[in-house]
Amino acid sequence: MHCKKVFIAIVYVVFALVYTTPLLALDGNEMLRRVDKNMQPEAYEMYRKLINIEPDGSKKEFVLYTVKKGQDKMVALFLSPASEKGRSTLRLGDNMWLYIPNVGKPLRITSLQSVVGGVFNNSDILRLDYSVEYNVEQVSDRGDIYLFDLKAKTSSVAYDRLKMQVDKETLLPTTIECYAISGMLIKTLRYTKIKDFGNGIVRPSMLETDSPLYKGYRSVMIFAKVNKKELADEVFSLNYLSKVDELR
Amino acid sequence: MSDCLAPLISCRYSTLYLVPLLFCLLIISPSFLYADEEFSFDLDEFEKKPLEWGGYAELKWEHMDINQGSAFARLNLFEDSISTLDRFTGGLQIDGHYAKGIISFNWLFNASAQQDDLGWSDMADIYEAYVSIKPAPVFTAGVGKKMYRWGKGYAWNPVGFVNRAKDPNNPEESLEGYITAEIDLIKSFSGPLRTAAFTTVILPVWRDVNEDFGELDNVNLAAKLYFLYRDTDIDLTWYTGNSRSTRYGLDFSGNLASNFEIHGELAYVPSQKSVILQDDGSSLIRKTEAFSYLVGLRYLSENDITSIIEYYHNDAGYTEEEMARFFQLVEDGESRFLASGSDVLLERARDMSQKGYAKPQPGRNYLYARFIQKEPFDILYFSPGLTTIVNLEDNSYSISPEIVYTGFTNWELRLRFSYLNGGIFTEYGEKMNSNKLELRVRSFF
């Protein structure tokens, strides 16, 4: 009789764990894929504004039109300011190119450089899904959040390690600390202002960043009009870079 | 020096100090940008419109110290014995497109006017004006005037068979295109070969149509086959036609690391024609089998310095001896003119200079290096840089430090100083100027 009670108690506990905290039953990488899925659809277009804020409060703004397909294909076109208009950047996996209309041909660029200045670099602007570039080493339960320790899959990834805080309820990232291979903190990203973009896309509409390397400087990214969109693979090619505006 | 020029010269020297001073004041003055912590994003102003256009207006001031006694000073300034030259240039470039459905019309206009100590000159040109039709992302066809930039090199492109030759001192500037008809096909794949693209260009050369490309009354064909294979860009280029001799090219570009890119080009011309000056002052057309190549790298260091280094071998270029023969002709021409008043040899030298000896980097072996420090001392949008071009045969060179500031939205300020050095009968030792200070202000709209 005593054994039966113990058995029933164990069954209750197991059921309670399975149904109240189902994500803990998943492995970390699967959880990260869910975070990615919540952040953006498989193929989409969106508009973003990047704002670089200097210590004296002055600002410089850039507006980009972006399309993405699959896990590693992405293009961003500058719509503003006039000095940058028509520039476009393409990412195919680890490859990145910059097309400048005057130059007339795409140049290979690196993920750590920044085509806009400020704290955001190219890999922030052409960010792939986190699960494409990182493996989850550990997930810790910290009350309202999960803390993910992520390690880059290859040396070509811009940041060697990420410490990502994910909201338990929404499974959306809130704060991400980016570390170099030396262990130095390069920058901190903060996602805020969750917004319903329609078609089931509910995600942060603002990303702020600061860096100990740029003391006093901040950069902000505002997301708007995130729409699912069917796109041909050929859109993500060097020959198409001069024609990206025609997708709008 | 005539008295009437005195106010001009006085003004010139005051401008010499005033313009850089104003530039420095602009850089160090507090930013006039609007500061507000509220972030707004009004998408309406970025709605796509059928007609879109933009461009820039530019003002440029240049001050040159003339290398008196050099071959090109003798040729270009023979009737104007001046030791310095100041030049003011105003420029305007307008680009745009009108799109309706699958058809779009694109254009690029460029105009400039300059006043210097020698006089006034101006130009206005249509750099690009073409119609393209794109029924699907895999297929685009176009006709009109279009600029081509084939090749992976930053300063030179030996495989750019339909490119206009660019200025390695300003390789990112727009250039005039050629009138062509073009078809562009793209196909993406999964697997090691990710993209393949094929571009075919028909380039006619008739009277008033692409006249400067080569021999008249020919229709030429050029093609480029592009692959993205295992993270490496590869192009095969080809040109055939009677305006120029047939040529074949190969180029590549790839990243060895996230901060380290390498690229290269190889061009083969079975029968390359060059106009060569003979010992007796006559010229002949030399036909040779030419292999030209370029290897280069782009490296981003931990302290944010981007280095671009390229080595270029031009098999069709002039040897040190051939260049010296040309410089000797200029010297002989001046001597004869001073002795007898005859300018026959000088005219001969001018003719040869236009046929190849005066083009940028006419020699055989060059080293190009450019270093750009991004935003040092936490000064955003401020980029100092240094560019050098070395003629490896005669060891003459140019070296150009510069600073660029882009912190004011839609403005770009560039201050550059170029120093040229080399011995007698060397490329940079015989240039018209020994140095140049240049201030360029661009306003984009």
pLDDT at A53 over 70: yes
Residue B274 or B205, more confident: B205
Going by the DSSP 8-state scheme, the letter that residue A21 receives in this structure is -
Q: What average pLDDT score do residues B275-287 get?
A: 87
Task: Compute CA distances B445 → B27, B185, B427, whole Å.
Answer: 21, 33, 39
Give the residue from chain A lying closest to B304, CA to CA.
A113
Which residues have a Cβ under 8 Å from the Cβ of A44 and sit 6 or more positions away?
A: A67, A68, A201, A226, A227, A228, A229
**Terminal CA-CA length for chain B:** 43
How many other C-beta atoms lie within 10 A of the C-beta of residue A68? Answer: 25
pLDDT at B413 over 80: yes
Q: Any CB–CB contact under 8 A between B444 and chain A?
A: yes
Where b means 16+ CB within 10 Å and e means fewer, A107-125 reads bbbbbbbbbbbbbbbbbbb
Domain membership flag for residue B278: yes
pLDDT at A56 over 50: yes
- pTM equals 0.84
Per-residue pLDDT, B317:
93
Indicate the pLDDT class of residue B6, thresholds 50, 70 and 90.
very low
Give the residue from chain A lying closest to B37, CA to CA.
A57
Least confident range from A102-116, A151-165, B126-140: namely A102-116
Per the structure block, which two tokens stand in for B425?
């009968």
Going by the DSSP 8-state scheme, the letter that residue A148 receives in this structure is E
Residue A118 or B405, more confident: B405
**Terminal CA-CA length for chain A:** 71
Per the structure block, which two tokens stand in for B58?
């530019």
Check if the beta carbon of residue A48 is closer than 8 Å to that of residue A223. Answer: yes
Check if the beta carbon of residue A99 is closer than 8 Å to that of residue A241. Answer: yes
Euclidean distance between CA atoms A119 and A135, whole angstroms = 25
Per-residue pLDDT, B92:
97
Per-residue pLDDT, B85:
95
**B 3-32 → A contacts, CB under 8 A:** 30-32
Where b means 16+ CB within 10 Å and e means fewer, B223-256 reads bbebbbbeeebbbebbbebebbbbbbbebbbbbe
Per-residue pLDDT, B1:
37
How many CB pairs below 8 Å do chains A and B form together? 167
Indicate the pLDDT class of residue A136, thresholds 50, 70 and 90.
very high
Closest to B140 in 3D by CA, of A157, A239, A102, A118: A239
Per-residue pLDDT, A112:
66
Closest to B302 in 3D by CA, of A216, A123, A184: A184
A150 CB burial (10 A radius; 0-12, 13-18, 19+): buried
Q: What average pLDDT score do residues B49-71 get?
A: 94
Check if the beta carbon of residue A225 is closer than 8 Å to that of residue B25. Answer: no
pLDDT at A205 over 60: yes
Per-residue pLDDT, B45:
85
**Domain A3-247, CATH:** 2.50.20.10
Domain boundaries, chain A: 3-247
Domain membership flag for residue B284: yes
Where b means 16+ CB within 10 Å and e means fewer, B134-156 reads beebbebebebbbbbbbbbbbbb
Q: What average pLDDT score do residues A19-45 get?
A: 77
Phi, psi of A34 (to 5 degrees): -65, -40
Region label for B117, one of left (φ > 0), alpha (ψ between -120 and 50) or beta (otherwise): alpha
Q: Any CB–CB contact under 8 A between B110 and chain A?
A: no
Q: What average pLDDT score do residues A20-49 get?
A: 81
Q: Enumerate long-range contacts of B415-423, CB under 8 Å, 24 or more apart.
A: B415/B20, B415/B23, B415/B439, B415/B440, B416/B440, B418/B169, B420/B67, B420/B396, B421/B396, B421/B397, B422/B391, B422/B394, B422/B395, B422/B396, B422/B397, B423/B394, B423/B395, B423/B396
Amino acid at position B405, single letter: Y
Could you tell me the sign of the dihedral formed by the alpha carbons of B87, B406, B108, B361, in that order?
positive
> What ipTM is given for this predicted complex?
0.80
Q: Rounded to a whole number, what is the distance in Å from the CA of A138 to chain B's nearest CA?
A: 26
The pairing of strands A218-228 and A95-99 is unpaired
Could you tell me the sign of the dihedral formed by the alpha carbons of B160, B162, B163, B164, in that order?
positive
**A 77-96 → B contacts, CB under 8 A:** 79-83, 85-86, 92-95
Q: Which residue among A56, A112, A234 sits closest to B35, beta carbon to beta carbon?
A: A56
Per-residue pLDDT, B38:
66
**A 177-216 → B contacts, CB under 8 A:** 206, 214-216
- Cα A207 versus chain centre, distance: 9
Domain membership flag for residue B212: yes
Q: Rounded to a whole number, what is the distance in Å from the CA of A233 to chain B's nearest CA?
A: 6
Classify A27 as helix, strand or coil: coil
Euclidean distance between CA atoms B314 and B364, whole angstroms = 5
Model confidence over A66-80: pLDDT tens digits? 999 988 899 999 999
Percent of chain B with pLDDT over 70: 91
Per-residue pLDDT, A26:
60
List of chain A residues whose C-beta atoms are within 8 Å of the C-beta of residue B300: 110, 112-113
Domain membership flag for residue B273: yes
Count of domains forming chain B: 1
Which domain does B154 fall in, by range? 137-298
Check if the beta carbon of residue B259 is closer than 8 Å to that of residue B300. Answer: yes
Euclidean distance between CA atoms B249 and B232, whole angstroms = 16
pLDDT at B244 over 50: yes
Euclidean distance between CA atoms A108 and B296, whole angstroms = 12
Cβ–Cβ below 8 Å for A234 and B188: yes
The mean of the pLDDT values for chain A is 86
pLDDT at B386 over 70: yes
List of chain A residues whose C-beta atoms are within 8 Å of the C-beta of residue B233: 108, 238
Per-residue pLDDT, A13:
53
Per-residue pLDDT, B2:
39
Q: Rounded to a whole number, what is the distance in Å from the CA of A178 to chain B's nearest CA?
A: 16
List of chain B residues whose C-beta atoms are within 8 Å of the C-beta of residue A232: 136-138, 188
Cβ–Cβ below 8 Å for B381 and A233: no
Classify A91 as helix, strand or coil: strand
Q: Rounded to a whole number, what is the distance in Å from the CA of B382 to chain A's nearest CA?
A: 9
Q: Which residue among B39, B154, B260 sits closest to A222, beta carbon to beta carbon?
A: B39
Q: Rounded to a whole number, what is the distance in Å from the CA of B318 to chain A's nearest CA?
A: 28
Task: Compute CA distances B348 → B81, B145, B333, B354, B355, whole Å.
Answer: 21, 34, 8, 10, 11
Q: Any CB–CB contact under 8 A between B38 and chain A?
A: no
Indicate the pLDDT class of residue B225, thresholds 50, 70 and 90.
very high
pLDDT at B314 over 50: yes
Beta bridge partners of B373: B305
Model confidence over B317-330: pLDDT tens digits? 999 999 999 999 99
pLDDT at B193 over 80: yes
Indicate the pLDDT class of residue B99, thresholds 50, 70 and 90.
very high
Per-residue pLDDT, B10:
43
